[in-house]
Structure 1
């Protein structure tokens, strides 16, 4: 079934768990007085290091209590909010007694987000194989999960010290790598002339028969470029895209040169007050979130000739526009000057005109769209 809305607003149960997160964290990872007083400064420093000064950041930065505290109090809850919305949209259901492999697990972000946003899975006996090179970070996440899920949770969590590429005994019904690929050096150097091909083969080998693969990355150009390239290589290995793609053809949003890249922006409705306050104190602007992702399956996927809305709306000389993706390539949805719009991540089954125009600026095929009030999908 084609996924209609990738980022629905969080349910009350999810928001309640997110609201309680900092209270739970204060019990499992209490900050020392000096670290608590300067937490907002540490958050700002870590944010700068993870963005503009990434090359100077040590690989084992989580071993620094100051930076670990900043990550757990700021980056982890924002990632939980971001992933909870995605999990609610794509609904990656796993069978009872199934296995999820979480590559680059960090503080158990994926198990925590799935527990918070997917109540249908809370009664199933699932095994999470969490792989990370920093056991201390996984241990902190494990304590958080045990507190949030409670002692009767049927999920079994196995932690493995290592990195992406290591051999595992288990195969995953669902294999997830979240905020992991952006930390890899995927440039061709020395003997490794095909790092992207090797990565695609490695990810494929972790999957069980009829398994699924979910890759989640920041909504940056380099992430979109990486995921677009991987998508092509995984298609060659007979995987089919479930989302965000609505087709199995060539990706029109490669991120190469001036080409657009596939990423989504969405709002932060219901984000915890303590998290918002910490964000303001750290002088970090947060009016929305973004991510890039790729969700693929070993089986066949339904596509239904739909158009997925990718961008936020922008003005056109006559009306308004949004970029989307379809089996016809990059698509410009052209709306009237007034009236409802679709949200990034939603899709529409189009009524194409008999003769389609091409946008001179982007080269996108133009799709006229008029949505009636109350008829958004």
Structure 2
């Protein structure tokens, strides 16, 4: 039942082609790992500094490590979005803080939109245009203003790991029909995203995913520490596992916080979303779900001998006749995963 993903197969050839310009290939695990560690150390030492795109070791690290990981996360997100018809009627994407265009290139594997990529540094554009022919030439911009917005009713504003430095979305984003907001699965970024979700609801946007409701978020209103994040399993190619063997960081699973919103209202979903991992307690196991403004848990009493492994992030059908005790929904038969 694992939700397992990998980055698009077409990326591997392009990454190898790009690495050749540094006299490297995906087989050079140790040399690649040194670049990854150098960039990791940079971010630890200077967390508020912009990515040093002018450094070759930073470019190599993004190509061989961060691009595959982030693309895999987004592949899982895009699959969920497709299930709900989120991209229907859209034709244009504005990718803010695009970096190496990971989000747009991953989305382009399934949706041949036109893309405007906003990125201050010139190096990512050069890398993509030279080595990723599967992503046709798009419009790259160093800055963006509402005057450049072509057709807001058919536009998706995409923010992938680019909201951290902002206190709010740019004004032009509120003119767009759809918003795709993806952030690191940290407490700070996750809770900030939940607060933004509430603001967008108040401005007339509707939640398409991951939530199945538009009421207040219980993780935000009923806790000072919880935050919402999703998890997918990473089906790593052999060259990546060899690279990872040279690193202290391991990535069997990948997490992210995200929200997809549109001005158009989605079809109602009569389901709950699993937002926690199964926790073993004395006499029972519990797993948090979300279907409204209250914190609720599926509860398996050990005496029932019902065993069920439900991945975080999936939708489940809650029987109407399920017994509710306080904030627990006592499971009497297997829960149906949708």
TM-score normalised by L of structure 1: 0.77
Aligned counterpart, 2:141:
160
Q: Equivalent residues in 2 for 1:83-122 (5 A)?
A: 83-91=74-82, 92-95=86-89, 98-116=91-109, 118=110, 121=111
Aligned counterpart, 1:369:
331
**Cα offset for 1:43?**
0.5
- Out of 166, 174, 177, the position equivalent to 2:159 is 177
SS in 2 for 1:70: helix
Distance 1:254 1:144, change over 3 A: farther
Q: Which consecutive unaligned segments of at least 5 residues does structure 1 have? A: 150-154, 187-195, 359-364
- Out of 248, 251, 256, the position equivalent to 1:283 is 248
Q: Is 1:179–1:218's contact at 8 Å kept on the other side of the alignment?
A: yes
Q: Is 2:93–2:158's contact at 8 Å kept on the other side of the alignment?
A: yes
Q: Cα deviation per residue 1:340-374 (whole Å; 9 max; x = unaligned)?
A: 2321111223235687433xxxxxx222235539x
SS in 1 for 2:267: coil
Aligned counterpart, 1:241:
207
Distance 1:265 1:60, change over 3 A: closer
Give the CA RMSD over aligned residues.
2.9
Q: Which consecutive unaligned segments of at least 5 residues does structure 2 have? A: none
The separation in 2 between residues aligned to 1:234 and 1:215, in whole angstroms, is: 12
Distance 1:341 1:218, change over 3 A: same
The structure 1 segments of at least 4 consecutive aligned residues displaced by more than 6 Å after TM superposition are none
**Structure 1, 237-246 or 316-325: larger mean CA deviation:** 316-325
Aligned counterpart, 1:62:
53
TM-score normalised by L of structure 2: 0.85
Count of aligned pairs between the two proteins: 327
SS in 1 for 2:265: coil
Distance 1:287 1:8, change over 3 A: closer
Distance 1:305 1:22, change over 3 A: closer
SS in 2 for 1:295: strand
**Cα offset for 1:256?**
9.2
Distance 1:354 1:325, change over 3 A: closer
**Cα offset for 1:31?**
4.8
